[in-house]
Structure 1
Amino acid sequence: MSTIERIRNRRNAKRDARAIERALSSAPTQSMRNEIAIFSQQRVF
């Protein structure tokens, strides 16, 4: 894997992590937060 690919992958992983954090903080119910948490745990970064 090239250096550029590693930088790109790291940037994408950080972007996804920020999106998940935003979704968790704006979810109206605990059950929705649980669903988001399960989804995010199954993702491969």
Structure 2
Amino acid sequence: RTVEENTTTRIEPWPQEENKNRRSISKTIRKKSTKPDTPKQKTKTL
């Protein structure tokens, strides 16, 4: 299943995968530093 998801993401990113990435990034940023500007930085990174 993991390999299939990776292949699908490379060809065409699905909204579910994007949501997973956003959640993981938001969690990582929150751990590093808690700031109100975090969402903006997260969006720019993506």
TM-score normalised by length of structure 1: 0.46
Give the number of the structure with larger relative contact order, counting CA–CA contacts within 8 Å between residues 6 or more apart. Answer: 1
TM-score normalised by length of structure 2: 0.45
